[in-house]
Amino acid sequence: MNQSETKKLIQVSIAIIRYKNQVLLGWRDEKLAQGGCYEFAGGKIELGETPEQAVVREVQEEVGIDVTPIKRFASFQFDYPDRLLSLFFILCKLKDPRELQSIDQHWRWIDLDDVQQFEFPKANQAIIQRLSWSRRIAILNGDHTAKQQVHHDVDTIYLRQSDENLKSLLIDNPQLFVEKKVIVRWQDYQQLNDDLQEKVFAIHLNSQQLVDLAESVPQNNELPLSLQNKNLIGACHNENEIECANLIACDAIFISPVQATPTHPEQSGLGWESFSKLTAMAEMPVYALGGVGRDDLDVAKAHGAYGVAGIRDFLRKSH
SS (H, E, C) the chain: CCHHHHCCEEEEEEEEEEECCEEEEEEECCCCCCCCEEECCEEECCCCCCHHHHHHHHHHHHCCCCEEEEEEEEEEEEECCCCEEEEEEEEEEECCHHHHHHCCCCEEEEEHHHHHHCCCCHHHHHHHHHHCCCCEEEEEECCCCCCCCECCCCCEEEEECCHHHHHHHHHHCCHHHHHCEEEEEHHHHCCCCHHHHHHCCEEEECHHHHHHHHHHCCCCCCCCHHHCCCEEEEEECCHHHHHHHHHCCCCEEEECCCCCECCECCCCCCHHHHHHHHHHHCCCCEEEECCCCHHHHHHHHHCCCCEEEECHHHECCCC
pLDDT at 1: 42
pLDDT at 35: 65
pLDDT digits (tens, 9 = 90+) for 99-118: 777 676 788 889 999 999 99
Q: Is the pLDDT of residue 4 over 50?
A: no
Confidence band, pLDDT 50/70/90 cuts, at residue 235: very high
pLDDT at 319: 46
pLDDT digits (tens, 9 = 90+) for 213-223: 998 875 545 67
Which region among 65-69, 201-205, 236-240 has the lowest average model confidence (pLDDT)? 65-69
pLDDT at 144: 56
Q: Check residues 56 and 150 and name the one with the higher pLDDT.
A: 56
Which region among 7-11, 133-137, 248-252 has the lowest average model confidence (pLDDT)? 7-11
Work out the mean pLDDT of the chain and round it to a whole number: 86
Per-residue pLDDT, averaged over 246-260, amounts to 93
**0.85 cut: is pTM over it?**
yes
Ordered by where they begin, the domains of the chain are 3-131 (3.90.79.10), 136-314 (3.20.20.70)
Q: Is the pLDDT of residue 82 over 80?
A: no
Q: Is the pLDDT of residue 240 over 70?
A: yes
Highest mean pLDDT out of 16-20, 35-39, 276-280: 276-280
